[in-house]
Amino acid sequence: AVSLLPIALAASFAIASELGTWAAGLAAGMLAAVNGLARATAGRLSDRFGRRRVLAAVLAVEGCAQFGLVWSAELGSGWVFVASAACAGLGGGAFYPIFGNVVLEYFGDRSLLQNQAIVYSAKAVGGLAGIGAAAVCVAHFGYGPVFVAAGLIGLGTAGLVRFLKQPGRPELPVRPQLGRPTVSRPGSRR
């Protein structure tokens, strides 16, 4: 839901905040472009740095981006709004492929179609909450409180990622290193 909110409402938020149509259009374009690029690179990053670590990072970026949109609207800065929309695209775009990979790793490929159907049908629920319910809330409370709530949800979700573990397996300690592959390669020293 958090990733769908700026897709649907960032442009109208920019217009309502009198940032101009240039900021609304550029924010929507940057959000879409970065969203696509993030999807293309997310898998590679999660292979290198670990799925949970990268998933937590992109969810945190998505959450912080919501605060950036509110802050830039308050400042009246169209350029900061566009940059925040790009960050929202980064977090929202990278989330989907990483989460799909986590599901595949945790549940295997025997029920691949069923598991992927569940993951991506959650987007329908997110659409109702992140777009439909959010639009109703914007009408009652304004853009700021709705985007702040989304930011809090995004950051809360990023914090909860550390509790993910494969069902039926003990939790492994998190490795303190950053930047090394999480899987040993044949012939490598560990």
| Residue 168 included in any domain | no
The number of folded domains in the chain is 1
pLDDT given at position 129 = 74
Task: Please answer whether residues 130 and 5 qualify as being in contact, where contact means their C-beta atoms are separated by less than 8 angstroms.
Answer: yes
pLDDT given at position 80 = 96
pLDDT given at position 189 = 57
Phi-psi map region of 120: left, alpha, beta (phi>0 left; psi -120 to 50 alpha): alpha
| Residue 86 included in any domain | yes
- Output 99-103 pairs: Cβ under 8 A, ≥24 positions apart: 99/55, 101/43, 101/46, 101/51, 102/51, 102/52, 102/55, 102/164
| Residue 181 included in any domain | no
pLDDT digit string, tens, across residues 121-145: 777 777 777 788 888 999 999 999 9
| Residue 125 included in any domain | yes
Phi-psi map region of 172: left, alpha, beta (phi>0 left; psi -120 to 50 alpha): beta
| Residue 175 included in any domain | no
| Residue 184 included in any domain | no
Percent of the chain with pLDDT over 70: 88
| Helix axis angle, 78-107 to 4-16, nearest 10° | 170
| Residue 183 included in any domain | no
What CATH number is attached to the domain comprising 51? 1.20.1250.20
Task: Please answer whether residues 54 and 98 qualify as being in contact, where contact means their C-beta atoms are separated by less than 8 angstroms.
Answer: yes
4 against 14, higher pLDDT = 14
The backbone torsions φ and ψ at residue 19, rounded to the nearest 5 degrees and listed phi first, read -85, -15
pLDDT digit string, tens, across residues 23-70: 999 999 999 999 989 988 888 888 888 888 899 999 999 999 999 999
Range of the domain at 18: 4-161
Q: How many CB atoms lie within 10 A of CB 43?
A: 16
pLDDT over threshold 80, residue 185: no
| Residue 23 included in any domain | yes
Q: How far apart are CA 30 and CA 38, in angstroms?
A: 12
